[in-house]
Amino acid sequence: MKRTVLEIVLALAMAGAAAFGYMSWKQVQGSKAAIEELTKTSEEATAKIEEAEKSAKAASEELEAMGKESEAASAKAGQFDAVKAGLSSGATLADLEAAYKKEKNLSPERLIGLATLRMLTKGAEDPGTIEAYKKALALSDWSNRKNTICAAQIGLAATGEKVEVMADCLPKGSPKMAEGHSKDDGHADHGKDDPHGKGAPAAKEDGHGKKDDAHAKKDEHAVEADAHSKDGEKTAEKPAEKHATPHWDYEGDMGPARWVKEFPTCGKGKKQSPLNIKGPFVKQRVDLAPAYKSAPLTMLNNGHTIQVNIPEGSKLRIDGIAYDLLQFHFHRPSEEQIDGKPMAMVAHFVHKSADGKLAVIGVLLKEGNENPNIKTLWSNLPPGEGPPVDVPSVTFNPASLLPKELDFWSYEGSLTTPPCTEGVRFFILRTPVNISKEQVNAFPFKLNARPVQPQNNREITISQAPGDAGWLRDAMAQATQENAPMAFEGVAKL
């Protein structure tokens, strides 16, 4: 009996000890889990603190940088105030306006300078400031005058005019400049007065431009077209989406009929190009003397045409006045028509005189035998739309594309691409040059020609080469009607 009681007591003691041990083990496990949780929370807190310290350091550095920028901006503001104060009397503006008054046509760069000086002197609300900026924008092509166009757009935006500044005109990393607000309705739109355009840029002044500055010095086919790529068939069929606004094209919603919306001169000008060359013609003696030189080949596909940029040295003399050959480019089909019919293509040679006047020689290309000089060019087409491509291994002379006879039709016209600036003298050579059907089809654009424009009573003159019997026949006929001395005068002209 006593033994049984002891066994029961021992069993109870052992059970109690086991329960106590289990409870102690559970408590230890719970403490361990709590410690692990606290450790994890502590590590997360430490990471957050480190991240906060990094953010605080970055914010501090940014504030320091902003402080330096603020100091620089303050210094520039002080310089600007000093400039404005110095010009406030208006004497400098008056002197400049007096000097420019003697010149009939100011260049876009001079107009920008005049507009900026007027703004500094008379303020952004001055109508003359706005007019000068707008005129500079209208006269600038989108290819070779990017800086001028940017200055005009930024200037107009500063006056509160409706204009969207091209992204290329803004410093890298800067937000898009808000459009200017009209004083009438306070709303902005995408209107630009009449600039050019990839854009050119865009370049020299017959409508086609380089995109080097977006269209640098030799990119006058902003003065006529932007260029084409080897896969240009697709480019021509689908309007590119790479151009700075306002964009233009040869087909669709951005085609020639819509150019006037962004480029008023294209629709309102009275001396637009190209023309349908048809009689009656006015006879005229003009000495046309190209003196082109060989140079390493530089080609450009500017989104509207294929263009060849020409370094300094190639000249054209018109009655003794020298013009520099800037570039030549191509249209398909020919923009000029002869008695209502276009030719397969045309090459436009764009020239500029020292006083800024433009002259374009048009070489008509008719379908026929393969042209070895075109073959050279087509073999080195740029791979796609983009900046100029140098081909130093190939030397090319632009004169190789000219016919032997330089008889021509001539008229006063305009750029054949936006902004359609007038005052361009055209010489369309009467003798065409061959180009094969395969070469025409290899040109990257199926269509890049502006439709012919109204003649508006303009004279189309015709020049005959020395020795042409027509001159002698006409002189003799006139002499018979009037007096003999005129016959000798006619012969002397030969």
User: Is the separation of the CB atoms in 301 and 198 below 8 Å?
Assistant: no
DSSP string computed for 271-282: S-S--EE-S--E
Q: What is the dihedral of CA 74, 77, 81, 82, to 10 degrees?
A: 70
- Residue 480: Cβ-neighbour burial (10 angstroms; 0-12, 13-18, 19+): exposed
Can you name the residues that pair with 297 across neighbouring β-strands?
391
- Nearest 5°: CA angle at 453, between 448 and 459? 125
| C-alpha separations of 185 from 131, 162, 341, 429, 475 in Å | 20, 10, 48, 51, 65
User: Do the strands 306-309 and 295-301 form a parallel or antiparallel pair, or are they unpaired?
Assistant: antiparallel
**Annotated active-site residue in 243, 304, 329, 351:** 304
Residue 424 CA: distances (Å) to CA of 70, 142, 358, 456: 48, 17, 5, 16
Residue at token pair 């450009």: 300
Task: List residues bridging with 391 in a β-sheet.
Answer: 297
Pairing mode, strands 295-301 and 389-396: antiparallel
Instruction: Reply yes or no on whether 181 is catalytic.
Output: no
Q: How many angstroms separate the Cα of 303 from the Cα of each of 66, 383, 423?
A: 41, 12, 25
| Active site (catalytic) residues | 304
